Every structure is written in C-alpha cells, then in structure tokens.
Amino acid sequence: MGRFKVGCVVGAFVLGISVNLAVAGGILKAGSQAPDFKLPGDQGAVVSLAQSEGKTVVLYFYPKDMTPGCTKEACSFRDHYQDLLKKGVVLLAISVDPLASHKEFQAKYSLPFPLLSDNAKRTVKKYGVWQWNKQRKAYGTVRSTFLIGPDGRILKVWSPVTVEGHAEEILKSL
C-alpha cells in the first residue's frame, strides 16, 4: 500500500511536469487534435468548436480589438468571408478582450463572423498562443491561425501570422 501511494505521488508529479512542458512547448502543431472550447461570442451565444464537427474551421487568434493589425486582419477576413462560406468553412476569431469590446469592433467594421471572448485565457493557453513577449515584457496573444479539418485535427498552422495576404493564403490552402 505504501508503494502505491508513493507511485501515485510520483506519477502525479511527472504528469504535472509533462503538462507544464506541453504548455510551455508552444503552439499546437498540424496533426494535433484541436482542443474544444466554449466561449461567449459578440452575438450573445456561446460557441464551441464541437458545434462545427464535420466542417472545416478557420480559427484565428488575434491580440486586440481596434488595433491597426487586428483591424486589417479582421477586415480582410470580412472581405473574403463569402469565399470561405462557399468552401464550406466556419470562421471563428478569438481574443482575450471582453465582449463589450468585441461588440464595438464587430459593429464598427461590420464583421459577419463570431468574435469570441477568452477572458479567462484558457483557450489561448490550450492552443499555445498565449506567450511571453520579450519586447513588451508581458504575456500576450501571438497572432495565429489554425485550419481544422472536419475530424477535429489541425491541418495547418500559421504562426506568427503576417496580416498582409493572410486570408488569401488560407483560401489557397483550402
């Protein structure tokens, strides 16, 4: 019985190290199972990845509403949204900004896709996009996009993203 208790403690300790290393290891890679999430969206509904099971999903993470790079990226996705829909793609965007900020961003730029709020930072951490920024000396979201197949596996990852031409690059990958 004593061995069992020690074994469990050691096992838990080893598991804890593995989990921490996985999070510290960076952004999820192609071939990985995309972690599910349930996040509130700017339209008032809770959105999960599981709701898109059987469909191709473009999931993009962005640092902050109303900033120049994020606005340019969102507007590019808006401008190519119908092309993505024609290909059967579900487009979802996530940042750690609050819903009020998302609603303002969505309304100002007429964004037709959900902006999901990850205030608790669980999803950005699961995907490995919440990282230390040496220049800013703070944690933040690395602009990243995940192409997720109908089976829930990550097909392709862009990280960090170059905003210029990104939506077009995704369309070419479909």
Written as six digits, the tokens of 41 are 């969206």
Catalytic hit among 70, 96, 115, 157: 70
In a domain, 114, yes or no: yes
In a domain, 8, yes or no: no
> What pLDDT does 25 receive?
57
Q: Output the tens digit of pLDDT for each of the chain's 174 residues.
A: 333 333 333 333 333 332 322 334 589 999 999 999 999 998 889 999 999 999 999 999 999 999 999 999 999 999 999 999 999 999 999 999 999 999 999 999 999 999 999 999 999 999 999 999 888 889 999 999 999 999 999 999 999 999 999 999 999 999
In a domain, 104, yes or no: yes
120 phi and psi angles, rounded to 5 deg: -80, -10
In a domain, 125, yes or no: yes
In a domain, 91, yes or no: yes
- What is the CATH number for 157? 3.40.30.10
8 labelled catalytic: no
In a domain, 22, yes or no: no
In a domain, 75, yes or no: yes
Number of domains in the chain: 1
> What pLDDT does 173 receive?
93
Strands 115-117 and 89-95: parallel
In a domain, 50, yes or no: yes
For residue 122, the enclosing domain spans 28-173
Q: Is 109 left (phi over 0), alpha (psi -120 to 50) or beta?
A: alpha
